Amino acid sequence: MAKSELIDSHVSVKQCKLAIDALHTHALKKQKEKEETELLTGKEQNIWLQVAVKKMHPEKKIKPIRVPIKHPLVDPRTSGVCLITKDPQRLYKDLLEAHGIKFISRVVGITKLKGKFKPFEARRMLLKENGLFLADERVIPLLPGLLGRKWFDAKKQPIPVCLTRKDLKAELERAIESTYMHQNQGTCTSVKIGILSHTPAQILSNLKMALPTIAKYIKGGWENIQSLQLKSNFSASLPIWTCDLGEDEGGRWDGLTAQSDQENSDSSEEEEENNGKTDIKEKQVSQEPEKAAPAKRTKRPLDDAAEKPKKKAKAVVSAEPIPTTPALPAPSPSPKATKTPSKKSKPEPVAVSVSQAELKQKRSSESGEKKKAKVLKGKGSKSAKEKILGKKSSQA
């Protein structure tokens, strides 16, 4: 194949043209079907170039890589372009008017982004109204936290531009006329190279112009690229180039040597031997008697009687004689059940028990006598005296 038919001396132009034509016709067909069934038209579909690499990138960069293309993806006449600047916002609005720049539809400062566009609904409307976002490169590190996740999900990350250049209009025009590659830590990177409103010839010319720059900025170049594929938003990926899967220089398995059968058998035998040794060691360890731990001296718990001496029950002495019950003769112990009393055992004190009914009767009688004595002395009421005197007269 002649070199003129290859893009960057690797990718076939014929294969790219076939893939682009197939994707374009398929996307137009799906769009017509949606227009017949849906009232509102959806977003315009894009054509993506998927780049799969052999080795992942070690770090993730916030600043995207600018990739020049022939036909721009955003038309300022049909979709808005928003510029995010430092404070004060009025200074940069005057700067755009001084340079005669009219394709920037809105200018938003950092303070306004923190205040007016802090609510989610306000940010969502800002995202919907503008098709492209440009930002001063000095405020790029602040934007992920201020804008939120929706900007990255919609693939509308702000594009960094330098607002301190003399030819500011050319700087902004280059930013609008380019596409961008965002490096991530995965093995696949997607780059937007066209839209459905472009013709297949325009998409192919964008691919020819963008592919050398993309391969240049990938770490390792073409040696690290595994495959290139084209796809639309809702279609399958169509391959346009894959690396050689052989062991030659630049191939997929370059530098990797396959083990022979003998090496595989030797390695399996070594693994079995190692496993056998570990099993023997485990058996030996399990068969060894465990060393008895040194016995710790522990205090022997005393008996309940010895640990807590019993308290002597207090005998309740009353004025009235307590009726005593005759002691019953103790049963004669059998000779087998008799035990010799130990020397340490001590006789327990006998507690004199008084019934609760007798104590209540005694207390009530004492309280009654005290009340009578108070009434007779003149401290009680007349009714109480009459009752007591009446009772005495009746008794007399």
Residue 373, pLDDT score: 72
Residue 235, pLDDT score: 87
Q: How confident is the model at residue 299 (pLDDT cuts 50, 70, 90)?
A: low
**Taking Cα atoms as reference points, which of 203, 224, 214, 228 lies closest to residue 64?**
214
Residue 350, pLDDT score: 45
Beta strand 65-68 with 80-85 is unpaired
Q: Side by side, which strands form the sheet with 80-85?
A: 106-109, 80-85, 130-136, 159-161
> CA dist 178 to 68, 83, 96, 161, 174, Å?
5, 16, 20, 12, 6
How far is 124 from 375, CA to CA, in rounded Å?
97
Query: How many CB atoms are closer than 10 A to CB 15?
Result: 17
- Specify which residues 160 forms β-bridges with: 135
**Which residue did the predictor score with more confidence, 152 or 197?**
197
Using the predicted structure, report yes or no on whether residue 383 has a pLDDT greater than 70: no
Given 3.10.20, 3.30.190, 3.30.70, 1.10.1660, which CATH number is that of 1-36+44-61+183-243? 3.30.190
Share of the chain above pLDDT 90, in %: 27
Mean pLDDT for the stretch of residues 117-146: 89
> CA dist 287 to 279, 280, 294, Å?
12, 10, 21
Using the predicted structure, report yes or no on whether residue 211 has a pLDDT greater than 90: yes
Per residue in 311-353, pLDDT (tens digit) is 544 444 444 445 555 544 555 555 444 444 444 445 555 444 5
> CA dist 34 to 42, 78, 154, Å?
8, 22, 21
Count of CA atoms in the C-beta half-sphere (13 A) of 118: 6
> CA dist 169 to 114, 157, 214, Å?
27, 21, 25
Domain ranges of the chain: 1-36+44-61+183-243, 72-180
Mean pLDDT for the stretch of residues 147-170: 87
Q: Best-predicted range by mean pLDDT among 16-25, 40-49, 241-250, 254-263?
A: 16-25
How far is 353 from 368, CA to CA, in rounded Å?
25
Using the predicted structure, report yes or no on whether residue 309 has a pLDDT greater than 60: no
CATH number assigned to the domain covering 72-180 = 3.40.50.790
Residue 262, pLDDT score: 55
184 in Cβ contact with 114 (< 8 Å): no
Query: How many CB atoms are closer than 10 A to CB 384?
Result: 15
| Average predicted confidence (pLDDT) for the chain | 76
Mean pLDDT for the stretch of residues 70-78: 88
Residue 335, pLDDT score: 47
Beta strand 6-7 with 11-12 is antiparallel
**Quick one: tokens of 146?**
């201020």
How far is 301 from 65, CA to CA, in rounded Å?
82
Per residue in 79-105, pLDDT (tens digit) is 889 999 998 889 999 999 999 998 999
> CA dist 264 to 261, 268, 274, Å?
5, 6, 15
Q: How confident is the model at residue 283 (pLDDT cuts 50, 70, 90)?
A: low
Q: How confident is the model at residue 67 (pLDDT cuts 50, 70, 90)?
A: very high
How far is 112 from 125, CA to CA, in rounded Å?
15
